[in-house]
Amino acid sequence: MICEVEKKNIEEFNTTNILPQTPFWGRVKKDQGFVPQGFELTISKDLLISGSSSLEKKGEDLLILIKYIDKNTCFAYVPYGPKLEPAFENQGVFLEQLSETIKPQLPVNCIFIRFDLTWKNQWAVEEEYFDDGGNWLGPPSNQTQEYRVNFNTARWNLYKSVEDNLPKNTFFLDLSLEEKELLNNMRYNTRYNVRKSNKKGIRVKEYGLDQIGDWYKLYLETAVRHHMPIQNQDYFSTILKNQDNSNKGVSIKMLMADIDGEFLSSMFLVLSKKRGTYLYGASTSSPNNLMASYALQWESIKIAKSQGCTEYDMFGSAPNLNQSHPLHGVHIYKKGFGGNLYHRMGCWDYPFNQKLYESYRFQELKNLKN
C-alpha cells in the first residue's frame, strides 16, 4: 500500500466538481480566517480497492484548511475531501495512512485532522436502516460507526466528529436529461408553481456586486425568520470577488427574482467543472416569495445545464421526511424538483494529540448543548 503527499500551490489544482476542494474555496476561507494548504496525493490502487493486486497509482489534489484554536494550537480541516473514494472496508485504513503520512506536513501544534467526507454513507445502502416507506433512518450510534470504520486499522484512532460542518445530506439532479424530462421528474406541485411563477410575471436575472446590498436585505430577513446565525455583508461579497476569471475555474452567479422591481428571492449559483451548486438562498416574507423561489431554482437549473453541467447539487436537506427535523421544509421544497437523495459520511477526526483533542471535543459538545 502506498500513500504519498507533496505540497502543491492550490492555484495549480486541477478542476473538480467538488466545490470545497477548489482554489476558489481556499481563497474564500482564507478571507474568513483559515490558512489554506495544498497537497498532491499519490495513492496505490490496492489502498482503494480490497483485494486489488495492482500497484497502479492514482493522484489527486487535496485542500486542507488550518484553523487556529488559540496561538498555541490548531487543527486541520479537509472540506469534502479526499475525493478518491475507497471501498467501504478500506475507508478507515485509507484515512489512517493519509493522516499519518500528512502529519509531518502540518503545523507541529496541529492536534487533529478532520475529514468532512463526501463519500457515500456506508449505512445508506443497508435495508435495515430504512423504514417501510423507504425513508432512511440515519446511521447507527457513533460507537457502532467507529467500530466498523476502524476495523483493520493499526491505531484504532478514528472518531466520528461531534457535528458535521458541510451538508451531510443533499439532492442531486441529473442535468444530462432534457428540460422536458427535468420538468416531468418534478412533483406536481413544484411543476405547477414553476409554471405559475411565469404567468405571474416573476423575472429572474443575474446581478453583480452593485446589488449585494439587495441580496443582503433578503438574507437578513431570511436569517431572522429562521433563527439562523447571521453573517455580515462582506462574507457574501468575498464569495463574488474570489471567483475565477478563467473558464476552467469556479464561476459564481448571484441570481435574484423580482416582480415589478421588488426583489422577492435570491440565490448564489456556483458552477465548478460539471456541477452546479445551489450555495445560498434567501427570500422575503412577501406572499409572492414562494412562487419566486420556484422560478429562481428552475432558472438556476437551466443555467447550470446551459453551461455544460451534468449534475446539480441542492447542497443540504434533511436525511428523511421526519417532520421534527429543522430542515424538513427545505427537504420538501428541494425534493419537489425530482433529484435523488444522497447521504454522505460526514466529519471524522484523527487525533495527533489525544489529550488536547479530548479537551477540544468536550468544548464542542458543551457548545452544541448550549
Q: CA-CA distance, 77 to 62, in Å (whole number)?
A: 11
Identify the architecture of domain 3-165+344-369 in CATH. Answer: 3-Layer(aba) Sandwich (3.40)
pLDDT of res. 247:
66
How confident is the model over 49-62, as pLDDT tens digits? 766 655 556 679 99
Assigned CATH for 176-309: 3.40.630.30
Which parts of the chain have pLDDT scores under 50? none
Helix 233-241 and helix 212-225: axis angle, to 10°? 130
Domain residue spans of the chain: 3-165+344-369, 176-309
Domains 3-165+344-369 and 176-309 in one fold:
yes
Q: What does 178-239 look like in DSSP terms, one character per residue?
A: -HHHHHHHS-HHHHHHHHHHHHTT-EEEEE-GGGHHHHHHHHHHHHHHTTPPPPPHHHHHHH
Cell reading at 299:
432558472
pLDDT of res. 286:
76
CB atoms within 10 A of CB 300: 21
How confident is the model over 217-276, as pLDDT tens digits? 999 999 998 888 889 999 999 999 998 876 668 999 999 999 988 999 999 999 999 999
Residue whose grid cell is 414553476: 194
Q: CA-CA distance, 349 to 369, in Å (whole number)?
A: 20
